[in-house]
Each structure stands twice: as structure tokens, then as C-alpha cells.
Amino acid sequence: MATLVRMDYVSALVPPVVMAVFFIGVVRVIVKTQGGAAKAKEDAAVDAALARAESARKASARGDA
């Protein structure tokens, strides 16, 4: 009987432990891939998109006034 109870605990704990291990792995990959050679290019693309959005906002504000 004690073996059955112990197996219930194991079967209840395995899925969350496996998910936690995979989650930690995903987070590590994301953190390790931040930066690197493409970081400057990605930052420049984001800056350009923000500048376009800001200029469009200013242009529409001038047109409304």
C-alpha cells in the first residue's frame, strides 16, 4: 500500500518538474541569444520604426491643429 501512495506522489510531481526544467531551458536560451552580432542591427530597426511612428504622430497632430 505504501508503494502505491509513493507512486501517486511521483506521478503527480513528474509533469510539473519536467515543465519547470524545460521552462528553465527556454529562459536560458532566450537570455543567451540576447545581444550578439545582430543586436546593433535589431536595435537600429527598432529605432527606425519608433522614429517613423513618432514622425507620423507629429504630422497628424499638425494636420489636426
Residues 44 and 58 both lie in one domain? yes
- Residues 28, 5: one domain? yes
One domain, residues 44 and 30: no
Residue 64 has pLDDT above 70, yes or no: no
One domain for residues 4 and 28: yes
Structural domain for 2, as ranges: 1-34
For the stretch 10-54, pLDDT in tens is 888 899 999 999 999 999 998 888 877 778 888 899 999 999 999
Q: Are residues 25 and 45 in the same domain?
A: no
**Burial grade of 60 (CB within 10 A; 0-12, 13-18, 19 or more):** exposed
Structural domain count of the chain: 2
Which of 47, 25, 43 is CA-nearest to residue 34?
A: 43
| pLDDT exceeds cutoff 70 at 65 | no
- What is the chain's length? 65
Predicted structure pTM score:
0.47
Q: C-alpha grid cell for residue 36?
A: 550578439
